[in-house]
Amino acid sequence: MDPREEPLSSRTLYEGRIVTLRVDQVTLASGVQTEREVIHHVPAVAMLALTDEGKVLLVRQYRHPVGRAILEIPAGLVEVGEDPRETARRELMEEVGYDADNLQRIGSFYSSPGFSDEIIHLFLATGLQPASREADDDEDLRVLSLTLEEWREALEEEGTMDSKTAAAFWWLQARGIERCLQR
Amino acid sequence: MDPREEPLSSRTLYEGRIVTLRVDQVTLASGVQTEREVIHHVPAVAMLALTDEGKVLLVRQYRHPVGRAILEIPAGLVEVGEDPRETARRELMEEVGYDADNLQRIGSFYSSPGFSDEIIHLFLATGLQPASREADDDEDLRVLSLTLEEWREALEEEGTMDSKTAAAFWWLQARGIERCLQR
């Protein structure tokens, strides 16, 4: 049987714009009681967007929590009542100005399940058509279009990426661009 | 030039065992002022541990924030003054009971830089020797040893993994086990 923890009580200490902080009391399988800090965060989507020419669409964006700009695949938060696939299409339009004919789910993963419930749904977006970009007011990002080799060099130069971009980059390395563009 | 945000002020609202919550005021490049919620978390390490027989060492662990057990690569938090490489060696011993002759850094990534500064340093661990396991009191985990194909099947069955495990799995798919075991 899977290891399990039994919840005893829960206190919400902060409800913000992006995160909610809870402190929960739980009983471990051993009977020991302990405290778990939980950051609630809405689900997110991320898109590995490939043009018909085999280029990857990326964004360079300042991330205040880490105090620097990083090179990422486009992403965004799922709105209430929205299907993640719709979010992927909407965010691709908002962040890089493309509509996608095909959205294929690559996988879903928790960004850091030791302290947060955030889940990221990763999509492969192909059949891209330029559309008019309608960026969010509080986002300042640069759009880049790179070959896989240029992307590899850029990530090497930066040193640190983010988890969704690492997962997407290595997924693409394993899969190969050719296979992704075949319908 | 990279996009940037200028910090104006910062309030710490919670300091816990694992996370610290701050709310910062920043000025965007456009001149607009906005609020950024920041979860501070210590750095972590994660280990893609391969036995000489080409099996991957994994842990199945209950994760309270997501309310379920998930299959992950071994990982742990960097202690104050500790080099991430030392953490990787220590956590490999604590979580799966192996010592590693070789630790090679695969890469580093922020788990979710939109709201958190957590960074995960990912290592390839080879030349594994069984050692006595000294598990943490508040961790209840099962150790598994799977071939790459068994790992793929297990992840498919689970549906959702975590970001460090997704990154490590796809890195290994791209690289191939043979190449990892060559010295």
Question: What's at B48, amino acid-wise?
Answer: L
Closest approach of chain A CAs to the CA of B137, in angstroms? 9
For range A40-68, the mean pLDDT: 97
**Model confidence pLDDT, tens digit, residues B23-62:** 999 999 889 999 999 999 999 999 999 999 999 999 999 9
Residues in chain A: 183
Residue A25 has pLDDT above 80, yes or no: yes
C-alpha–C-alpha distance, residues B174 and B158, integer Å: 21
Confidence band of B122 (pLDDT split at 50, 70, 90) = very high
Closest residue of chain B to A166, computed from CA coordinates: B167
Domain ranges of chain B: 6-40, 43-108+120-181
A112–B66 C-beta distance less than 8 A: no
Confidence band of B109 (pLDDT split at 50, 70, 90) = very high
B24–A161 C-beta distance less than 8 A: no
A108–B159 C-beta distance less than 8 A: yes
One-letter-per-residue 3-state SS of chain B: CCCCCEEEEEEEEEECCCEEEEEEEEECCCCCEEEEEEEEECCEEEEEEECCCCCEEEEEEEEHHHCEEEEECCEEECCCCCCHHHHHHHHHHHHHCEEEEEEEEEEEEECCCCCECCEEEEEEEEEEEECCCCCCCCCCEEEEEECHHHHHHHHHHHCEEEHHHHHHHHHHHHHCHHHHHCC
Q: Kindly state the tokens that stand for A140.
A: 């300042």
Q: Which residue has the tokens 């997962």?
A: A167
B109–A165 C-beta distance less than 8 A: yes
**How far from chain centre, in Å, is Cα B126?**
17
Residue A183 has pLDDT above 70, yes or no: no
- CB B9 within 8 Å of CB B25: yes
CATH class, range A42-181? alpha beta
- From A5, A15, A139, A153, active-site residue: A139
- Name the phi and psi angles at A50, rounded to 5: -115, 125
**Model confidence pLDDT, tens digit, residues A100-158:** 999 999 999 999 999 999 999 999 999 999 987 766 656 678 999 999 999 999 999 99
- From B139, B149, B150, B156, active-site residue: B139
Q: Which CATH code of 3.90.79.10, 3.40.50.1370, 3.40.50.10320, 3.30.230.70 fits the domain covering B43-108+120-181?
A: 3.90.79.10
- CB A57 within 8 Å of CB A46: no
Q: What is the mean pLDDT of chain A?
A: 94
Catalytic site includes residue A139: yes
Confidence band of A3 (pLDDT split at 50, 70, 90) = confident
Closest approach of chain B CAs to the CA of A72, in angstroms? 10
A3 or A43, greater pLDDT: A43
Nearest partner of A160 among A46, A72, A76, judged by Cα: A72
Burial (CB count <10 Å: 0-12, 13-18, 19+), residue B17: exposed
3-class SS of residue A101 = strand
For range B138-148, the mean pLDDT: 87
Q: Kindly state the tokens that stand for B5.
A: 């945000």
Selected residue of B17, B45, B63 to mutate for chain A interface (largest A Cβ count, 10 A):
B63
Please tell me the pTM assigned to this model: 0.95
For range B165-175, the mean pLDDT: 97
Lowest mean pLDDT of A79-93, A130-144, B18-32, B138-152, name the range. Answer: A130-144
Which chain A residues are within 8 Å of B109, Cβ to Cβ? 160-163, 165-166
